[in-house]
Amino acid sequence: MTATGEAIVVTHAHGVTRIEINRPAKRNALTGAMYLAMAEAITGANKDDSVGVIMITGQPGAFCAGNDIGDFLRGRGTFETPPAIVFLKALVLSHKPLVAALDGLAIGIGTTLVLHCDFAYATPRTRFHMPFIDLALVPEAAASLLVPRLCGIKRASEMLLLGEAFDAESAARYGIINSVVANEVEAHAEAVALRLAAKPRAALLASRALMRADSHKLLARIDLEAEEFGARLNSKDAKAVFAAFMAKA
């Protein structure tokens, strides 16, 4: 199955649904249609008894460069629920394990979606960055809850308030990814996904559900962030940032 001119490619094999972000010309920046395609794939995989694991991958050098700003601005007000929120809630509501393989850029949601994955692996050249405040916005994807939980408030302040980028070794040290994989990161992640898919399904899903019993808190934080995010979008600062961005595009 493909969507958005194959910008999102979804395949199923051996109990694993693989979601590939495939828009290399735009460094895998996400459009509203791409968010909805990924949400649909995650929801569908959760309803499919033949699927045990969901794997998310990008392209060499660009896992995900965040939102496509032009598409985001054009699509404002088009949807009752913003497509990014639909996608994020699909991640949180997934009862099947999520595995990610990253290489290169992981900006904005390219970093925050990884916070919701059970397993994540990155190459040494992967670069993480959550520059929400530089865009006159606030964090999303429950990052304001999960990043301090994982990294501590001081390190989280560096990432979310200063907007400092960090490398894959740091991401592993902070618990944002499992490990750095120098060669064939997708093959490594797929091997983990296949191991999970081969395990007793009911016990796997029940164990994961016990580990993630606070999903209601994540959903509530996503809503809280989205409300503030929307308010910030209408600020003079945000309008100036986006106007400058579009002038360069």
Where b means 16+ CB within 10 Å and e means fewer, 146-169 reads bbbeebeeebbeebbeeeebbebe
Please check whether residue 29 is in contact with residue 64, taking contact to mean a CB–CB distance below 8 angstroms.
Answer: yes
Please check whether residue 84 is in contact with residue 39, taking contact to mean a CB–CB distance below 8 angstroms.
Answer: no
3-class DSSP state of 75 = helix
Token pair of 115 as six digits: 């916070």
Please check whether residue 84 is in contact with residue 34, taking contact to mean a CB–CB distance below 8 angstroms.
Answer: no
Query: pLDDT tens digits, residue range 66-118?
Result: 999 888 788 776 778 999 999 999 999 999 999 999 999 999 999 999 999 99
What is the rounded average pLDDT of the residues 152-175? 98
Q: What is the model's pLDDT at position 107?
A: 98
The domains found in the chain, sorted by start residue, are 2-186 (3.90.226.10)
Q: Is the pLDDT of residue 248 over 60?
A: yes
Q: Is the pLDDT of residue 3 over 50?
A: no
Q: What is the model's pLDDT at position 69?
A: 86
Please check whether residue 36 is in contact with residue 84, taking contact to mean a CB–CB distance below 8 angstroms.
Answer: no
Q: What is the model's pLDDT at position 79?
A: 75
> How far is the C-alpha of 198 from the C-alpha of 195, rounded, in Å?
5
pTM exceeds 0.85, yes or no: yes
208 beta partners: none
Q: Is the pLDDT of residue 5 over 70?
A: no
Please check whether residue 21 is in contact with residue 57, taking contact to mean a CB–CB distance below 8 angstroms.
Answer: yes
Percent of the chain at pLDDT above 70?
97
> How far is the C-alpha of 56 from the C-alpha of 11, rounded, in Å?
11
Q: What is the model's pLDDT at position 246?
A: 82
Among 47-51, 112-116, 146-150, 235-239, the range scoring the smallest mean pLDDT is 235-239
Average pLDDT of the chain, as a whole number: 94
User: Going by DSSP bridges, is the β-strand pair 179-180/98-102 parallel, antiparallel, or unpaired?
Assistant: unpaired
Report in angstroms the alpha-carbon separations of 164 from 134, 146, 156, 159: 10, 17, 10, 5
Per-residue confidence band for 38, with pLDDT thresholds at 50, 70 and 90: very high
Query: pLDDT tens digits, residue range 200-215?
Result: 999 999 999 999 999 9
Q: Is the pLDDT of residue 2 over 60?
A: no
> How far is the C-alpha of 223 from the C-alpha of 229, rounded, in Å?
10
Among candidates 136, 104, 131, which has minimal Cα distance to 27?
Answer: 104
Please check whether residue 140 is in contact with residue 222, taking contact to mean a CB–CB distance below 8 angstroms.
Answer: yes
